[in-house]
Amino acid sequence: MTEAAIRPLLALVGPTASGKTQASLVVAERLDAEIVSVDSMLVYRGMDVGTAKPAPDERRRVRHHLIDVAEPSEPFTVARYQALAVEAIGDVRSRGATSLLVGGSALYLRAAVDGLDFPATDPDVRAALERDAELVGATAMHERVRAADPAAAAKIEPANVRRSVRALEVMEVTQRPFSSFASAWDRFEASRVRAVGVTIERATLRARIEARVHAMVHGGLLEEVEGLVERGFGGWLTSSQAIGYAEIARHLAGDMTLEAAVAAIVKRTNALARRQLAFLRRDPRIMWFDVGERGAIERVDEIEASLRAGTAEETT
Protein backbone atom coordinates (compact mmCIF):
# COMPACT_ATOMS: atom_id res chain seq x y z
CA MET A 1 0.00 0.00 0.00
CA THR A 2 1.36 3.45 -0.87
CA GLU A 3 1.99 6.21 1.66
CA ALA A 4 -0.77 8.27 0.03
CA ALA A 5 -3.21 5.43 0.63
CA ILE A 6 -2.50 5.20 4.38
CA ARG A 7 -2.09 8.95 4.95
CA PRO A 8 -5.23 10.71 3.78
CA LEU A 9 -4.95 14.43 3.35
CA LEU A 10 -7.01 16.61 5.66
CA ALA A 11 -9.21 19.41 4.32
CA LEU A 12 -11.37 22.20 5.70
CA VAL A 13 -13.54 23.75 2.99
CA GLY A 14 -16.55 25.98 2.55
CA PRO A 15 -17.82 29.09 0.83
CA THR A 16 -16.11 32.45 1.12
CA ALA A 17 -16.73 34.34 4.38
CA SER A 18 -17.67 31.18 6.29
CA GLY A 19 -14.84 31.64 8.79
CA LYS A 20 -12.47 28.95 7.51
CA THR A 21 -9.29 30.94 8.14
CA GLN A 22 -9.94 31.52 11.83
CA ALA A 23 -10.95 27.92 12.43
CA SER A 24 -8.11 26.49 10.34
CA LEU A 25 -5.48 28.21 12.47
CA VAL A 26 -6.86 26.61 15.63
CA VAL A 27 -7.22 23.21 14.01
CA ALA A 28 -3.77 23.30 12.43
CA GLU A 29 -2.15 24.15 15.75
CA ARG A 30 -3.97 21.36 17.52
CA LEU A 31 -3.07 18.79 14.85
CA ASP A 32 0.48 20.07 14.31
CA ALA A 33 -0.44 20.65 10.67
CA GLU A 34 0.66 23.07 7.96
CA ILE A 35 -1.94 24.80 5.81
CA VAL A 36 -2.02 24.30 2.05
CA SER A 37 -4.26 26.87 0.39
CA VAL A 38 -6.92 25.69 -2.05
CA ASP A 39 -7.89 29.18 -3.16
CA SER A 40 -7.52 30.52 -6.68
CA MET A 41 -6.85 34.13 -5.59
CA LEU A 42 -4.44 33.73 -2.68
CA VAL A 43 -1.74 32.73 -5.15
CA TYR A 44 -1.33 36.36 -6.28
CA ARG A 45 1.24 38.64 -4.69
CA GLY A 46 0.08 42.08 -3.63
CA MET A 47 -3.58 41.09 -3.50
CA ASP A 48 -4.03 40.76 0.24
CA VAL A 49 -6.93 42.85 1.51
CA GLY A 50 -9.41 41.99 -1.24
CA THR A 51 -8.73 38.26 -1.03
CA ALA A 52 -8.91 38.10 2.80
CA LYS A 53 -5.43 36.60 2.70
CA PRO A 54 -4.16 35.30 6.06
CA ALA A 55 -2.30 38.12 7.80
CA PRO A 56 1.47 37.95 8.36
CA ASP A 57 1.02 37.12 12.04
CA GLU A 58 -1.36 34.29 11.14
CA ARG A 59 1.16 32.91 8.65
CA ARG A 60 3.85 33.06 11.34
CA ARG A 61 1.52 31.28 13.72
CA VAL A 62 0.96 28.38 11.27
CA ARG A 63 3.08 27.68 8.21
CA HIS A 64 1.14 28.28 4.95
CA HIS A 65 1.79 27.07 1.41
CA LEU A 66 0.66 28.24 -2.07
CA ILE A 67 0.23 31.87 -1.12
CA ASP A 68 1.99 34.65 -3.07
CA VAL A 69 3.39 32.42 -5.81
CA ALA A 70 2.42 34.48 -8.89
CA GLU A 71 2.17 38.07 -10.10
CA PRO A 72 -1.40 39.35 -10.53
CA SER A 73 -1.45 39.36 -14.34
CA GLU A 74 0.56 36.15 -14.67
CA PRO A 75 -1.34 33.24 -16.22
CA PHE A 76 -2.05 30.73 -13.47
CA THR A 77 -3.72 27.49 -14.50
CA VAL A 78 -5.13 24.73 -12.36
CA ALA A 79 -2.43 22.46 -13.80
CA ARG A 80 0.22 24.78 -12.40
CA TYR A 81 -1.57 24.86 -9.08
CA GLN A 82 -1.67 21.07 -9.05
CA ALA A 83 2.08 20.79 -9.61
CA LEU A 84 2.81 23.26 -6.81
CA ALA A 85 0.32 21.53 -4.48
CA VAL A 86 1.91 18.13 -5.03
CA GLU A 87 5.31 19.66 -4.30
CA ALA A 88 4.08 21.42 -1.17
CA ILE A 89 2.31 18.34 0.20
CA GLY A 90 5.41 16.26 -0.45
CA ASP A 91 7.54 18.84 1.37
CA VAL A 92 5.21 18.75 4.38
CA ARG A 93 5.28 14.96 4.48
CA SER A 94 9.06 14.85 4.17
CA ARG A 95 9.25 16.71 7.49
CA GLY A 96 6.80 14.35 9.17
CA ALA A 97 4.08 16.99 9.35
CA THR A 98 0.44 16.90 8.26
CA SER A 99 -1.11 18.93 5.45
CA LEU A 100 -4.41 20.71 6.09
CA LEU A 101 -5.98 21.91 2.83
CA VAL A 102 -8.04 25.04 3.39
CA GLY A 103 -10.16 27.02 0.95
CA GLY A 104 -13.28 27.25 -1.15
CA SER A 105 -12.26 26.00 -4.59
CA ALA A 106 -13.61 22.52 -5.33
CA LEU A 107 -11.49 22.43 -8.50
CA TYR A 108 -8.27 23.15 -6.63
CA LEU A 109 -9.20 20.69 -3.89
CA ARG A 110 -9.67 17.90 -6.37
CA ALA A 111 -6.51 18.88 -8.23
CA ALA A 112 -4.50 18.54 -5.03
CA VAL A 113 -6.25 15.45 -3.68
CA ASP A 114 -7.18 13.27 -6.63
CA GLY A 115 -4.38 13.79 -9.15
CA LEU A 116 -6.80 14.58 -11.96
CA ASP A 117 -5.47 14.96 -15.48
CA PHE A 118 -5.82 18.54 -16.69
CA PRO A 119 -5.38 18.88 -20.45
CA ALA A 120 -2.99 21.45 -21.82
CA THR A 121 -4.07 24.82 -23.17
CA ASP A 122 -2.91 26.72 -26.23
CA PRO A 123 -3.69 30.45 -26.33
CA ASP A 124 -3.39 30.60 -30.13
CA VAL A 125 -5.78 27.70 -30.66
CA ARG A 126 -8.24 29.16 -28.16
CA ALA A 127 -8.08 32.61 -29.74
CA ALA A 128 -8.81 31.14 -33.18
CA LEU A 129 -11.77 29.20 -31.83
CA GLU A 130 -13.11 32.27 -30.05
CA ARG A 131 -12.95 34.16 -33.35
CA ASP A 132 -14.87 31.32 -34.98
CA ALA A 133 -17.47 31.52 -32.22
CA GLU A 134 -17.97 35.22 -32.82
CA LEU A 135 -18.63 34.49 -36.49
CA VAL A 136 -20.84 31.40 -36.33
CA GLY A 137 -22.37 31.55 -32.83
CA ALA A 138 -22.75 29.19 -29.88
CA THR A 139 -25.00 26.63 -31.53
CA ALA A 140 -22.63 26.02 -34.43
CA MET A 141 -19.68 25.61 -32.03
CA HIS A 142 -21.66 23.12 -29.99
CA GLU A 143 -22.45 21.20 -33.17
CA ARG A 144 -18.72 20.97 -33.88
CA VAL A 145 -18.24 19.42 -30.45
CA ARG A 146 -21.10 17.00 -31.06
CA ALA A 147 -19.62 15.86 -34.36
CA ALA A 148 -16.21 15.20 -32.79
CA ASP A 149 -17.22 13.97 -29.33
CA PRO A 150 -20.94 13.25 -28.74
CA ALA A 151 -20.33 12.27 -25.11
CA ALA A 152 -18.78 15.64 -24.36
CA ALA A 153 -21.48 17.54 -26.23
CA ALA A 154 -24.18 15.81 -24.18
CA LYS A 155 -22.78 17.47 -21.04
CA ILE A 156 -22.43 20.96 -22.52
CA GLU A 157 -25.33 23.35 -22.86
CA PRO A 158 -25.59 24.46 -26.54
CA ALA A 159 -25.61 28.09 -25.41
CA ASN A 160 -22.42 27.71 -23.37
CA VAL A 161 -19.92 28.85 -25.97
CA ARG A 162 -17.06 29.02 -23.46
CA ARG A 163 -17.26 25.30 -22.69
CA SER A 164 -17.66 24.39 -26.34
CA VAL A 165 -14.55 26.38 -27.17
CA ARG A 166 -12.65 24.69 -24.35
CA ALA A 167 -13.71 21.23 -25.54
CA LEU A 168 -12.61 21.97 -29.09
CA GLU A 169 -9.33 23.45 -27.87
CA VAL A 170 -8.53 20.35 -25.82
CA MET A 171 -9.32 18.02 -28.70
CA GLU A 172 -7.12 19.98 -31.10
CA VAL A 173 -4.21 20.27 -28.66
CA THR A 174 -4.27 16.71 -27.29
CA GLN A 175 -5.78 14.78 -30.19
CA ARG A 176 -8.01 13.06 -27.65
CA PRO A 177 -11.77 13.27 -27.08
CA PHE A 178 -12.62 15.88 -24.48
CA SER A 179 -14.80 13.34 -22.68
CA SER A 180 -11.78 11.09 -22.09
CA PHE A 181 -10.55 13.54 -19.45
CA ALA A 182 -13.83 13.56 -17.59
CA SER A 183 -14.18 9.98 -16.33
CA ALA A 184 -11.97 10.57 -13.28
CA TRP A 185 -14.20 13.41 -12.14
CA ASP A 186 -16.93 10.93 -11.24
CA ARG A 187 -14.64 8.99 -8.88
CA PHE A 188 -14.16 10.15 -5.29
CA GLU A 189 -11.66 7.84 -3.57
CA ALA A 190 -12.39 8.00 0.14
CA SER A 191 -8.85 7.01 1.12
CA ARG A 192 -7.34 10.16 -0.36
CA VAL A 193 -8.85 12.79 1.93
CA ARG A 194 -10.64 13.35 5.20
CA ALA A 195 -12.64 16.51 4.52
CA VAL A 196 -14.97 18.67 6.56
CA GLY A 197 -17.02 21.54 5.19
CA VAL A 198 -18.80 24.47 6.79
CA THR A 199 -22.10 25.81 5.60
CA ILE A 200 -24.18 28.77 6.78
CA GLU A 201 -27.83 29.70 6.35
CA ARG A 202 -27.99 31.95 3.30
CA ALA A 203 -29.17 35.14 4.99
CA THR A 204 -26.47 34.84 7.65
CA LEU A 205 -23.79 34.30 5.03
CA ARG A 206 -25.02 37.31 3.07
CA ALA A 207 -24.70 39.44 6.20
CA ARG A 208 -21.17 38.16 6.84
CA ILE A 209 -20.20 38.87 3.24
CA GLU A 210 -21.56 42.40 3.34
CA ALA A 211 -19.77 43.12 6.61
CA ARG A 212 -16.51 41.76 5.25
CA VAL A 213 -16.72 43.77 2.04
CA HIS A 214 -17.27 46.99 3.98
CA ALA A 215 -14.37 46.10 6.27
CA MET A 216 -12.13 45.55 3.24
CA VAL A 217 -13.11 48.81 1.58
CA HIS A 218 -12.43 50.76 4.78
CA GLY A 219 -9.41 48.64 5.68
CA GLY A 220 -7.08 49.30 2.80
CA LEU A 221 -8.61 47.87 -0.37
CA LEU A 222 -8.66 51.21 -2.19
CA GLU A 223 -5.01 51.80 -1.35
CA GLU A 224 -4.12 48.24 -2.37
CA VAL A 225 -5.77 48.65 -5.77
CA GLU A 226 -4.09 52.05 -6.23
CA GLY A 227 -0.75 50.38 -5.62
CA LEU A 228 -1.48 47.66 -8.16
CA VAL A 229 -2.48 50.29 -10.73
CA GLU A 230 0.77 52.15 -10.09
CA ARG A 231 2.67 48.90 -10.66
CA GLY A 232 1.09 48.62 -14.11
CA PHE A 233 -1.72 46.16 -13.41
CA GLY A 234 -4.55 48.63 -14.04
CA GLY A 235 -5.58 47.25 -17.43
CA TRP A 236 -5.55 43.70 -16.12
CA LEU A 237 -7.62 44.64 -13.06
CA THR A 238 -10.37 46.35 -15.01
CA SER A 239 -10.64 43.48 -17.48
CA SER A 240 -10.27 40.65 -14.97
CA GLN A 241 -12.76 38.64 -12.98
CA ALA A 242 -11.00 39.38 -9.67
CA ILE A 243 -13.91 40.20 -7.38
CA GLY A 244 -13.37 43.49 -5.59
CA TYR A 245 -10.33 44.53 -7.57
CA ALA A 246 -12.14 45.04 -10.86
CA GLU A 247 -14.85 47.13 -9.23
CA ILE A 248 -12.47 49.30 -7.20
CA ALA A 249 -10.23 49.80 -10.24
CA ARG A 250 -13.24 51.07 -12.17
CA HIS A 251 -14.15 53.33 -9.26
CA LEU A 252 -10.65 54.78 -9.16
CA ALA A 253 -10.82 55.34 -12.91
CA GLY A 254 -14.01 57.36 -12.43
CA ASP A 255 -16.27 54.82 -14.09
CA MET A 256 -18.19 53.79 -10.96
CA THR A 257 -19.14 55.40 -7.66
CA LEU A 258 -17.78 53.82 -4.50
CA GLU A 259 -21.32 52.94 -3.41
CA ALA A 260 -21.97 51.15 -6.71
CA ALA A 261 -18.61 49.37 -6.50
CA VAL A 262 -19.36 48.08 -3.01
CA ALA A 263 -22.81 46.87 -4.07
CA ALA A 264 -21.32 45.08 -7.06
CA ILE A 265 -18.65 43.43 -4.92
CA VAL A 266 -21.25 42.19 -2.44
CA LYS A 267 -23.45 40.83 -5.24
CA ARG A 268 -20.60 39.02 -6.99
CA THR A 269 -19.25 37.62 -3.72
CA ASN A 270 -22.66 36.18 -2.86
CA ALA A 271 -22.82 34.56 -6.28
CA LEU A 272 -19.32 33.15 -5.77
CA ALA A 273 -20.30 31.66 -2.42
CA ARG A 274 -23.30 29.93 -3.99
CA ARG A 275 -21.14 28.45 -6.76
CA GLN A 276 -18.48 27.30 -4.32
CA LEU A 277 -21.00 25.53 -2.14
CA ALA A 278 -22.74 23.91 -5.12
CA PHE A 279 -19.48 22.48 -6.45
CA LEU A 280 -18.20 21.38 -3.06
CA ARG A 281 -21.44 19.55 -2.30
CA ARG A 282 -20.78 17.26 -5.25
CA ASP A 283 -17.96 15.64 -3.26
CA PRO A 284 -19.52 12.93 -1.07
CA ARG A 285 -16.38 12.69 1.07
CA ILE A 286 -17.04 16.04 2.76
CA MET A 287 -18.66 15.93 6.21
CA TRP A 288 -20.69 19.11 6.66
CA PHE A 289 -21.10 21.27 9.76
CA ASP A 290 -23.73 24.01 9.95
CA VAL A 291 -22.50 27.19 11.61
CA GLY A 292 -24.07 30.49 12.57
CA GLU A 293 -23.18 34.16 12.82
CA ARG A 294 -19.68 33.54 14.23
CA GLY A 295 -18.74 31.19 11.41
CA ALA A 296 -16.67 28.01 11.51
CA ILE A 297 -15.08 28.80 14.86
CA GLU A 298 -18.40 27.84 16.48
CA ARG A 299 -17.81 24.18 15.59
CA VAL A 300 -14.02 24.11 15.80
CA ASP A 301 -13.90 21.34 18.41
CA GLU A 302 -16.09 19.07 16.29
CA ILE A 303 -14.16 19.97 13.15
CA GLU A 304 -10.92 19.10 14.89
CA ALA A 305 -12.31 15.81 16.18
CA SER A 306 -13.47 14.79 12.71
CA LEU A 307 -10.11 15.61 11.15
CA ARG A 308 -8.20 13.97 13.99
CA ALA A 309 -10.08 10.77 13.17
CA GLY A 310 -8.54 11.05 9.72
CA THR A 311 -5.04 11.24 11.17
CA ALA A 312 -5.80 8.13 13.23
CA GLU A 313 -6.55 6.29 9.98
CA GLU A 314 -2.89 6.69 9.03
CA THR A 315 -1.95 3.95 11.47
CA THR A 316 -4.75 1.52 10.61
Task: Tell whether 241 and 98 lie within a shared domain.
Answer: yes
Task: Tell whether 253 and 127 lie within a shared domain.
Answer: no
CA-based nearest residue to 23, from 58, 67, 66, 56: 58
Question: E strands within 62-137?
Answer: 64-65, 98-103
Residue 129: which CATH number?
1.10.20.140
Segment 283-292 mean pLDDT: 97
Distance, CA of 280 to CA of 107 (rounded, Å)? 9
**Residue 315 pLDDT greater than 50, yes or no:** no
CA-based nearest residue to 15, from 103, 97, 100, 75: 103
Task: Tell whether 131 and 225 lie within a shared domain.
Answer: no
Per the model's pLDDT, the better-predicted residue between 58 and 239 turns out to be 58
% the chain with pLDDT above 90: 82
Per the model's pLDDT, the better-predicted residue between 187 and 104 turns out to be 104
**Residue 313 pLDDT greater than 60, yes or no:** no
Question: E strands within 146-186?
Answer: none
Task: Tell whether 268 and 289 lie within a shared domain.
Answer: yes
Q: What is the mean pLDDT of the chain?
A: 92
Residue 241: count other Cβ atoms within 10 Å of its Cβ: 9
Task: Tell whether 196 and 302 lie within a shared domain.
Answer: yes
Mean pLDDT lowest among 1-10, 62-71, 216-225, 273-282: 1-10
CA-based nearest residue to 17, from 265, 228, 301: 265
Range of the domain at 136: 123-175
Residue 309: which CATH number?
3.40.50.300
Which of 141, 175, 209 is the C-terminal boundary of a domain? 175
Task: Tell whether 38 and 158 lie within a shared domain.
Answer: no
Residue-wise pLDDT for 46-97, tens only, equals 999 999 999 999 999 999 999 999 999 888 888 999 999 999 999 999 999 9
Torsion of CA 225, 230, 236, 241, to 10 degrees: 0
The DSSP letter of residue 103 is E
- At residue 241, the pLDDT reads 77
Q: Kindly state whether residue 183 falls inside one of the protein's structural domains.
A: no
Q: Kindly state whether residue 65 falls inside one of the protein's structural domains.
A: yes
Task: Tell whether 202 and 79 lie within a shared domain.
Answer: yes
Q: Kindly state whether residue 182 falls inside one of the protein's structural domains.
A: no
Strand, coil or helix: 286: strand
- At residue 120, the pLDDT reads 79
Q: Kindly state whether residue 185 falls inside one of the protein's structural domains.
A: no
Q: Kindly state whether residue 180 falls inside one of the protein's structural domains.
A: no
Distance, CA of 263 to CA of 241 (rounded, Å)? 16
- At residue 261, the pLDDT reads 97
Strand, coil or helix: 101: strand
- pLDDT confidence of 316, banded at 50, 70, 90? very low
Single pTM value for the model: 0.86
CA-based nearest residue to 293, from 17, 51, 21: 17
Number of domains in the chain: 2
Segment 149-159 mean pLDDT: 92
Question: E strands within the chain?
Answer: 9-13, 33-38, 64-65, 98-103, 193-200, 286-291
Mean pLDDT lowest among 1-15, 77-91, 300-314: 1-15
Q: Kindly state whether residue 281 falls inside one of the protein's structural domains.
A: yes
Looking at the DSSP bridge assignments, the partners of residue 37 are 102
Distance, CA of 283 to CA of 187 (rounded, Å)? 9
Task: Tell whether 168 and 82 lie within a shared domain.
Answer: no
Which of 109, 140, 175 is the C-terminal boundary of a domain? 175
Segment 293-304 mean pLDDT: 97
Distance, CA of 178 to CA of 168 (rounded, Å)? 8
Task: Tell whether 307 and 217 lie within a shared domain.
Answer: yes
Distance, CA of 279 to CA of 262 (rounded, Å)? 26
- At residue 217, the pLDDT reads 97
- At residue 5, the pLDDT reads 43
Task: Tell whether 271 and 306 lie within a shared domain.
Answer: yes
% the chain with pLDDT above 70: 96
Task: Tell whether 203 and 254 lie within a shared domain.
Answer: yes
Q: Kindly state whether residue 187 falls inside one of the protein's structural domains.
A: no
- At residue 312, the pLDDT reads 65
Strand, coil or helix: 71: coil
Q: Kindly state whether residue 265 falls inside one of the protein's structural domains.
A: yes
Task: Tell whether 107 and 235 lie within a shared domain.
Answer: yes
- pLDDT confidence of 117, banded at 50, 70, 90? confident
Segment 160-178 mean pLDDT: 92
